[in-house]
Amino acid sequence: MRDESSDKMISSLIRDYYRRAVIDVDHVDKREFAYGTFESKIKVRHLSFGSIRELSRYLVDNAPPYLSYSSAYYEFPAGRPMEKKNWRGSELVFDLDATDMDIPCKKEHSKGWICKICLEAVKGEAIKLIEDFLIPDFGFSESEMIINFSGNRGYHIHINKEDVLGLDKNERKQISDYISGNGIDSEEIFPDSGKRGKRLIGPRPEEKGWPGKIAKNFVSKLNKGPEAMQALGMSKQMAEKLYKNRSLVEMGIRSGNWDMISIKNKSEFWKDVLKKEAVIQSDRIDGNVTNDTSHLIRLPNTIHGETGLIAKKVGSLSELHKFDPMKDAIAFEKGELRVCANAEHELEIKGEVFGPYRGEEVVLPVYAATYLYLKGLAHIINSTDIS
Ligand SMILES: [Zn+2]
């Protein structure tokens, strides 16, 4: 459904966006950049810019559908091969993507589609990463983080604190394993969970790391109600019983006595709980983003060429809680386009629902038309008379 004149029209929308966009990169002169075309997200790499001004001019002149930058700082960012760049350190980056998550709605829509539920789920994962791991366990503060919507179906969290820049691949892997729960053994947290008839001794909420996390989250779910505990994999009957006796159960847990939670298959149950409390990170074919010290990642506030949305920087954790990409990351605000659309799912964007469409001609706001076109679900009819 792609055609040259529509691509051209979108390029001019991208150019207009870059004329007013605020691009802000620390150590811009030490980063490697790469631009992508509609066909290839990383077409040319090893680019470098001496200043934000130079970068901004490049964006207006070239209107690239994708722009990535290195999480690494280099002495010579344009140097090639890679060794000639002289690596000086890398931000710690976490890549969260709805594609990697087990979300029930994914069975109801095609693989490339992303719905409201997908977006909420991956946002929840980003919040969990920050609130349950990065702040309490690693002691990072909000001011040391960049929270970025990826522009399509995920979030990137960057840590640029001095202390992390020099971490090597192995140290990064340990961090990423910790938050993914890899190598965390539930039988160490509940030493007797595999034994029949034994009292269940477990962690207390104030303990550090995973044990405290399991206890704290369990107490919070206990007080939320039976559904929250059923979501952990507990039977309805057990969940209701615990909820009824919640103050006693909580008192027990606070002293490390988990005996009231008599679940069948304890060992399996706690293993499962651990998995649910962990963060699901992207594991791409080209390697885990967190461990890769020369990874290229979407530059904050640039356009994502598969959606036309902004890979938008989210100002703070409290803003993340309220952030809705389909409202807050819209780049092409003005005008309408006539399209022929073939989209089997409803598109909810800027508070309005469009579609589904079965090949009919419709006039849509530019942001909705370009979203569908870039997803390959619409053909733009009057791409030349946009004002
Ligand atoms: Zn979905």
pLDDT tens by residue, 305-315? 999 999 999 99
Q: Give 332 Cα–ligand 1 centroid separation in angstroms.
A: 24
159 CA to centre of ligand 1 in angstroms: 28
Binned at pLDDT 50, 70 and 90, residue 204 comes out as very high
> Does the residue 96 lie in any domain?
yes
Q: Are residues 26 and 161 in the same domain?
A: yes
Distance 344 CA to ligand 1 centre (A): 13
Out of 235, 250, 277, pick the residue that ends a domain.
277
Q: Does one domain contain both 265 and 225?
A: yes
Asked if residue 321 belongs to a domain, the reply is yes
Which pair of tokens denotes residue 379?
């053909």
Distance 360 CA to ligand 1 centre (A): 24
135 and 254 housed in the same domain? no
d(CA 368, CA 347): 8
Looking at the structure, do residues 83 and 231 belong to the same domain, yes or no? no
C-alpha of residue 116 to centroid of ligand 1, in Å: 6
The residue ranges of DSSP E strands in the chain, in sequence order, are 33-36, 44-47, 66-70, 72-74, 87-90, 92-97, 145-149, 154-159, 296-298, 313-314, 336-343, 347-349, 352-354, 357-365, 378-380
Q: For ligand 1, a single-atom ion, which residues have Cβ within 5 Å?
A: 105, 115, 117-118
Distance (Å) from CA 123 to ligand 1 centroid:
13
Centre of ligand 1 from the C-alpha of residue 240, in Å: 30
Q: Ligand 1: distance of its center to the CA of 26 in Å?
A: 34
347 Cα to the center of ligand 1, angstroms = 11
pLDDT digits (tens, 9 = 90+) for 345-358: 999 999 999 999 99
Cα 185 from chain centroid? Answer: 26
The percentage of residues in the chain with a pLDDT greater than 70, rounded to a whole number, is 96
Q: Is residue 385 part of a domain?
A: no
Cα 152 to middle of ligand 1, angstroms: 13
Number of domains making up the chain: 3
pLDDT 10s digits, 245-290? 999 999 999 999 988 887 777 788 888 888 889 998 876 544 577 7
Range of the structural domain that residue 354 is part of: 336-380
Mean of the pLDDT values across residues 73-87?
96
Q: How far is ligand 1, taken at its centre, from the CA of residue 325, in Å?
A: 14
**How many Å lie between the centroid of ligand 1 and the Cα of residue 105?**
4
- Per mean pLDDT, which range of 38-52, 186-200, 352-366, 367-381 is the poorest? 186-200
Domain-terminating residue out of 311, 328, 345: 328
Residue 60 lies in a domain: yes
Tell whether the model's pLDDT for residue 368 goes beyond 50. Answer: yes
Are residue 78 and residue 216 in the same domain, yes or no?
no
Q: Determine which of 80-84, 98-102, 119-123, 194-198 has the lowest per-residue pLDDT on average.
A: 194-198
pLDDT tens track for 172-202: 999 999 999 988 888 889 887 666 666 778 9
Span from the CA of 361 to the centroid of ligand 1 (angstroms): 26
- How many residues make up the chain in this entry? 387
Higher pLDDT, 387 or 327: 327
Residue 387 counted as domain residue: no
